[in-house]
Structure 1
Amino acid sequence: MADQSVNTQRIILIQTESMNTNMSHIFKFTKVQILISHQHLPNWESEIKHYASPCVRIHPHLTSVLLNSFDTVCVGTNAAVTLVLMGYSTKRLPNYEIILQAYAKMDTINQIILIWNNKNEPFLNPYYDIPITFITPEENSMNNRFNVSEHLHTDAVLIVDDDVLLNEALISLILYRWIENTDRLFGLDGRFVLPGNKYSGYGRRHRESPLVIGKTMLFHRKYLEQYMNDQALVEWNRPRFCEDISMNALIFNATKLKPIIVQMNDHCYRTNLPEVDGLSIAIPANKWIDKRSICVQWVSEYFNIKF
């Protein structure tokens, strides 16, 4: 049972018929508090394993006094993400007017790191009141989105392209999934690897996929340090656009597990913004596939893995 009034974001779990609880109903709220009355729920000990512990309060008897005496608890109170954005084209500055304002209001985001890879064109950020860590590297390299360890305050790192906007419910959902599997790579956009290590631009809707692209990726901060400490990997990626495939390979090599694809829904969604000057549209599709296939082939040999 859920109280869905405008100002109340509280889930009161009284009874369930199945262990397959639909989490999307919960994550349509920005913040929730889960109250479990175990006199009404005989299997409550098993049931609560579906929820991150900071979100659960167990009361032997739920009364109106108890229900009104607790503040709303943020999903994953002890967990939040660092959002890493990276841009180059000034034609995408209007996107930042949207995404910075939106992300800055989200409680799930602990901090925003913005890497501006174009030192020849100023970012001209009029939203100086938004707390962000702004980085302007000397070199324009896709590696820069992973070279942020010294700025991090969280274990969870969320890489997002600047042509999409994730709503907070979706970020919370990805974070919730990650809390259960902090060694795994999570994302929204799966991709195939065909025989011969050929990259395919077509995605999968399955829970696991051989690759997840950098449009939206969430993983543990430890992998950033491993990536940047691998000089051969950094040098290979410096002039190329293979950093997301390389991170896939690094995490797969460490875990022997494929990335997990989080499914979006009506409540947990991503909004597409203009992708002007995007690499994948600036380069002809067949040449883009060829370039990405070279990335897959190289990292497969380097890590001695098979996607």
Structure 2
Amino acid sequence: MFDTPMLPNGAHYFNGTKETMESAIGTKAASSFSKAIGLTRDAEQFTVVILTYNRDDSLVTILKLLNNCPYLNKVIIVWNNPDRKPEDAWPTLHVPIEFIFPEKNSLLNRFIPYDEIETEAIVSLDDDQNFSHSELVFAFRVWREHRDRLVGFPERYTHMQYGKGKYGLSAVCEYSLILTGFAFMHKEFLYEFTYNQHPSILEHIEKNRNCEDIAMNFLVAHLSRKPPVRMIKKTSSENPQGKQTSGLSGNSTHYSVRSDCVQLFSEIYGYNPLLQSQHQAVPTRGGCMSGL
């Protein structure tokens, strides 16, 4: 992946996607910026990959959020419940929605390089995420300048303490990994994860049903030798209804289990490749992106 330069992708350009965001301030410069994705590459789009399991209402909500989002190529829903087929009625979007039906329920299904993914840029989303179009497009713009990193939110902090891995919330304005519930990444990393990640790591994820995001961060940091990029959310909350966390992170042993993952993965790699960063991508309000 890093021996040759990454070239613009040859994905079919979905013409139904709106390739512009109206300027928040109406200036000629901002309007020109909003009509083109910019930088030195050809225009490109991104693919949304959603891993879902028995959260139909949340999935409907996130699909509605994605409707008419600029630069979106398609939405791929990884239906992680082999015992139940999805309903027929789903929101209609301006881009195709394609369902993937894995043979078994596995967190590893999130990172398979499906043939249906035609773009280099992928954003991995949990089925309960909340975001605005502006935030999604801003993250895409940031990723295009950091194509060999993970870009997203929220961030977490890991380090080695007395020879043991520690995982938790950032308390010192530093972070070393990005959770993959909202994370842009290059499709090449899906190939690397699925076919070149250490088998013991994949087995551990399958057995414990946890830490697939930590494993992806380890892989990307090992290959790029760079930290991820944290994006600051400004226009939407991560939990707009104020609901209590009901997933794995709400478990009392969550942080200790994930600390064990950091320790195990470090032993398998022979070192901890995660690098600390204080860098934050913060959108300017109104200057170049509407809604920020």
TM-score (norm 1): 0.70
For residues 51-109 of structure 1, the C-alpha deviation after alignment (integer angstroms, 9 at most, x for no partner) is 8337xxxxxxxxxxxxxxxxxxxxx97122111111112xx211122111221321222
Work out whether 1:190 is the aligned partner of 2:206. no
* Identical residues among aligned pairs (%): 25
Residue of 264, 267, 288 corresponding to 1:301: 267
2: distance between equivalents of 1:7 and 1:225? 36
1: distance between equivalents of 2:186 and 2:263? 25
Work out whether 1:12 is the aligned partner of 2:11. no
TM-score (norm 2): 0.73
For residues 210-263 of structure 1, the C-alpha deviation after alignment (integer angstroms, 9 at most, x for no partner) is 111122111111000000002614333223311100000000001111111011
2: distance between equivalents of 1:93 and 1:83? 17
Number of equivalences: 241
- In the other structure, the counterpart of 1:17 is none
- In the other structure, the counterpart of 2:130 is 165
RMSD: 2.7
CA contact (8 A) 1:190 1:205 kept: no
Give unmatched runs, 5+ long, in structure 1. 1-5, 14-25, 27-31, 36-50, 55-75
* Compared CA separation, residues 134 and 167, structure 1 to 2 (3 A): same
- In the other structure, the counterpart of 1:103 is 66
2: distance between equivalents of 1:155 and 1:162? 22
For residues 182-215 of structure 1, the C-alpha deviation after alignment (integer angstroms, 9 at most, x for no partner) is 1111121111114221111x13695x62111122
2: distance between equivalents of 1:216 and 1:205? 22
- In the other structure, the counterpart of 2:215 is 246
CA contact (8 A) 2:113 2:187 kept: no
Residue of 185, 189, 212 corresponding to 1:219: 185
- In the other structure, the counterpart of 1:236 is 204
* Compared CA separation, residues 183 and 198, structure 1 to 2 (3 A): same
Give unmatched runs, 5+ long, in structure 2. 1-20, 275-292
- In the other structure, the counterpart of 1:114 is 77
Shift of 1:144: 0.1
SS of 2:135's equivalent in the other structure is helix
SS of 2:144's equivalent in the other structure is helix
Shift of 1:271: 5.7
For residues 110-159 of structure 1, the C-alpha deviation after alignment (integer angstroms, 9 at most, x for no partner) is 11110111111332141274421101211111000111331111111101
